[in-house]
Structure 1
Amino acid sequence: MKPLAATSLDAGAAHVVSYFQQIGGACRLTMMIADQEMETKGGAPTRVQMTVEPGRAAYVDDADGKSSRFTCLYGAEAMNVTRIDRVALAR
């Protein structure tokens, strides 16, 4: 992702549109999260904002056992978003 360039992804039963801004050398991530059935059922999306430091990642979990990893690249000039499976370790 480049600054102020929106990207969208499906996260389980939700649809996420996200973008980020460079603020104070960090990535200020904004996500609009909507239920995929919102068009038929009504309702409003949820807006979530968080600041991610360069070289760090923020994880957003969905109900289907996956996560979206938003990584702020050094210099806060770009962010990567990756869908990953959550795996619980058993002993």
Structure 2
Amino acid sequence: MLKATKTVAAAAGVMGVLAASAVFADSPSKNDYTNMMPGHGTSLQFGGKHAVGYFQVKDDACHLTVVVADSNGGESGFDSPGTRFVIPVQPGKGIQVDASAGQSAEFLCTMDGTEMNARVFDRAPYKS
């Protein structure tokens, strides 16, 4: 029972991070981003994590589906195979997924809500 409670608490924490608006650590250039089209996936490696995601345009928003897992693929047998999140991102807004190694993945919905852009960036000011 305690393990299930910890799992739910961890999932809630990750959802809180995902639901937050993007906070820029620096001013990214357009070249830092990978363009995403509806229904076409993208794959990102960041801070020991691997994220695979795609989005669909629905209700004038970018509905992002992303699975985040450890890059090592759960070699120990005790690691999670990944966690799937489905998040509506409003046009002009974004979400950020932080990894413990000082890197983040960011997904931004364009102003017209028809495309998304993704990037990996270093949260240098927040490194421990």
TM bracket, shorter-chain basis: 0.7 to 0.9
Count of aligned pairs between the two proteins: 89
Say yes or no: does 1:13 pair with 2:48.
yes
Instruction: Give the one of 102, 105, 112 matched to 1:75.
Output: 112
In 1: Cα distance, 2:103 partner to 2:74 partner: 24
Residue 14 of structure 2 corresponds to none
Q: Percent identity?
A: 37
Deviates more, 1:62-71 or 1:18-27: 62-71
* Structure 2, unaligned runs of 5 or more: 1-35
Residue 51 of structure 1 corresponds to 88
Q: Shift in Å at residue 87 of structure 1?
A: 4.0
The superposition leaves residues 50-82 of structure 1 with CA deviations (integer Å, 9 ceiling, x where unpaired) of: 111001111111111121121101222110012
Q: Secondary structure at the match of 2:112?
A: helix
Instruction: Give the one of 37, 54, 73 matched to 1:2.
Output: 37
Q: Which has the larger radius of gyration?
A: 2
Q: TM-score, normalised by structure 1?
A: 0.86
Q: What one-letter code is carried by the residue in structure 1 that aligns with 2:45?
A: D
CA RMSD of aligned residues (A): 1.7
> Which protein is richer in helix relative to its size?
2
Off by >3 Å, runs of 4+ in structure 1: none
* Structure 1, unaligned runs of 5 or more: none
> Which protein is richer in strand relative to its size?
1
Q: What one-letter code is carried by the residue in structure 2 that aligns with 1:80?
A: N
In 1: Cα distance, 2:95 partner to 2:47 partner: 18
The superposition leaves residues 22-71 of structure 1 with CA deviations (integer Å, 9 ceiling, x where unpaired) of: 11010111111111222522342111121110011111111111211211
